[in-house]
A = this chain, B = another copy of it.
């Protein structure tokens, strides 16, 4: 039984708490949050103790920590946790600043303990099925990957200002998917974008609609389409053209009912947002973490993966700002 301390009792912390509780191999024993009341409530729900993060790190009875705090604390908590000998699963991103993330990676490397980053989409059953089919050679060599990733509604501008921008906050998931599917980091990144959904997002220096292309060293390409608003729900699809065919992973719909009338055929919308669409993915992510902790095998998503995705996000930001293709050299935008 893996005893787990959860850092962060917010929305995503609650999702993880349920996954930890539902897996028979893990037990939630402690919860921390800067909001002590939130920590107490979530701890109480699961029969865990409210502790500070320092107490969690110091408790030798806690085997693993799940970091679901605000982004600016991730790197320091990762470092503290590996030094404390914990198994670590940290929500994405490692940090909004690439240099800080690289420093964290150096600390972790020195300690010599692995860290898993929570790119939950890799664990979506549909995307995982696409990846398995591709790895099994079902469409031959991969050539052109397309990722559609639209949120149902834009976040408040207050959120946008702290988010690191669309590329580091939203597209980073898609960059990780591209790197994961192709098993490589891109050689160059080209981005265009607009603020056409909400002018306030543009006024805050960010964009809400973007197209980013990734070029890999061997000629393969990926294109990521992002929008902060698809009124019909969370649009999360992947298409991969290969030398022998095309793989596509579609949306998960709310139900399978279709109605045909004089107005045409009406089917259901996609699941509304990530808590609906990726509910199974969060559970599978936690299960994969526990598998690796128990077996001692490599984590399926590494800290390096988190750093790669952030570097791509930095390159996309630079490309958008300067109207040019940005190369990635030695893992940094050039």
Contact = CB atoms under 8 A, between A and B. Distances in A.
A190 to B, nearest CB: 6
19 contacts: A133-B259, A143-B196, A143-B227, A144-B227, A146-B225, A150-B241, A209-B221, A223-B225, A231-B261, A232-B262, A232-B265, A246-B261, A248-B257, A249-B256, A260-B270, A264-B266, A264-B268, A323-B324, A324-B325
A54 interface: no
B211 A144 contact: yes
A30 interface: no
B258 A245 contact: no
A183 to B, nearest CB: 16
Interface residues of A, number: 69
Top-3 shortest CB links A-B:
A245-B261, A194-B219, A250-B256
Interface of A: 125-126, 129-130, 133, 138-139, 141, 143-144, 146, 148, 150, 188, 190, 192-197, 209, 211, 213, 215, 218-221, 223, 225, 227, 229-232, 235, 241, 243-270, 323-325
Given A192-B213, A223-B223, A324-B323, A258 B248 contact: yes
